[in-house]
Chain A
Amino acid sequence: QVQLEESGPGLVKPAETLSLTCAVSAYSISTGYYWGWIRQPPGKGLESMGSVYHNGRTHYNPSLGSRIIMSVDTSKNQFSLRLNSVTAADTAVYYCVKYSTEPPYNWFDPWGQGALVTVSA
Chain B
Amino acid sequence: DIQMTQSPSSLSASVGDRVTIACRASQTIGSYLNWYQQKPGKAPKVLIYAASRLQNGVPSRFSGSGSGTDFSLTITGLQPEDFASYYCQQSYSSPRTFGGGTKVEIK
Contacts and interface: CB of A to CB of B under 8 A. Distances in A.
B94 A59 contact: yes
Given A108-B89, A109-B45, A109-B46, A48 B96 contact: yes
B43 A113 contact: yes
B18 interface: no
Given A102-B49, A102-B50, A109 B95 contact: no
Interface residues of A, number: 24
Contacts of A95: 43-44
Interface of B: 1, 31-32, 34, 36, 42-46, 49-50, 53, 55, 87, 89, 91, 94-101
B49 A62 contact: no
Main SS class of interface, A? strand
Chain B interface mostly: loop
Contacts of B44: 46, 95, 108, 111
A105 B43 contact: no
Interface of A: 45-48, 50-51, 59-63, 95, 100, 102, 105-114
